[in-house]
Amino acid sequence: MTLQDHLKPSLLKNPLIVALDLDDDKKVLQLCDDLQDIAGGFKVGPRLCLRYGKPLLQRIAQVAPLFIDNKYFDIPNTMESAVLSSFEAGASLVTVHLLAGQPALRRLAELEQQLNRVRPFKILGVSILTSWSEEDYPTPFTPEPVSKHVRELIKMGEQAGLTGFVCSGEELSLAGDSQKYFIVPGVRLPGDDVQDQKRTLTPKLAIERGASGLVVGRPIVEAKDPRQAALDYSMAWVESSFKA
């Protein structure tokens, strides 16, 4: 396996996705400027989307590939509209909940094909949040291991036509293959604070197990030196790619 096996230039500049989990647009844009030569892309969620809207998203997308992580979960028509709006705001990646079910996922897979005729775009199905463990399931969930739920949800998404997914690094070896595109949140260097993440993995192990993108937020954006922190994470996946 070579470094190029992990580069997806049509979607990301490299596997490191910096999660901009902040509320200040000036700090966000400063981080984008400081990290644009290191980050493979930038991830934003509802807090920035709702606070600043499309103008900020478009500015971020001009710097590096934009990942809008709002985890859409609604009736099929509403999910389609939300995904299309994200695309129009500049997103290269967007998340939806696999729990939305087959009818919604099939329509989203068709929409993804249409949008890819315009520019590279990937819809990512979210399986089980990395902040969950078996003890945190909502009441209707059957008391099965997280890995089983992840496998079943990804299988359903694949049958609907999706090829991009989000899951923790722990489930990659169970759910992944070379035909799927996996984004892994909860990535931490050895010794880093895992905060509210329940299922974490190092960049090295995530890459070795087949991750296409690694999401890192607070360890970078809250660091005293965000640029050095981003370099530390970047070097971790580069080294693991050459050793793999």
pLDDT band at 191 (very low <50, low <70, confident <90, very high): low
Within 85-218, strands assigned E span: 91-97, 122-126, 164-166, 181-184, 213-216
List the catalytic residues: 71
Is the pTM here over 0.85, yes or no?
Answer: yes
**Residue that the structure tokens 């396996």 belong to:** 1
pLDDT at 215: 93
What does the domain layout of the chain look like in residue ranges?
3-243
Q: What is the pLDDT of residues 53-84, one digit of tens each?
A: 999 999 999 999 999 999 999 999 999 999 99
Q: Tell me the C-alpha distance between 4 and 196, whole Å.
A: 32
H or E segment and range at residue 67: strand 66-72
Distances (CA, A) of 77 to 89, 103, 217: 18, 10, 31
At 219, list the tokens.
């360890």
Q: Spell out the CATH class of 3-243.
A: alpha beta
Provide, rounded to the nearest whole percent, the portion of the chain with pLDDT above 70: 80
At 235, list the tokens.
């070097």
DSSP 186: S
pLDDT at 174: 59
Within 176-234, strands assigned E span: 181-184, 213-216
Asked if the model's pLDDT at residue 25 lies above 60, the reply is yes
Close Cβ partners of 15 (under 8 Å, ≥ 6 residues apart): 6, 7, 8, 40, 207, 211, 212, 213, 214, 237
pLDDT at 26: 97
Asked if the model's pLDDT at residue 103 lies above 50, the reply is yes
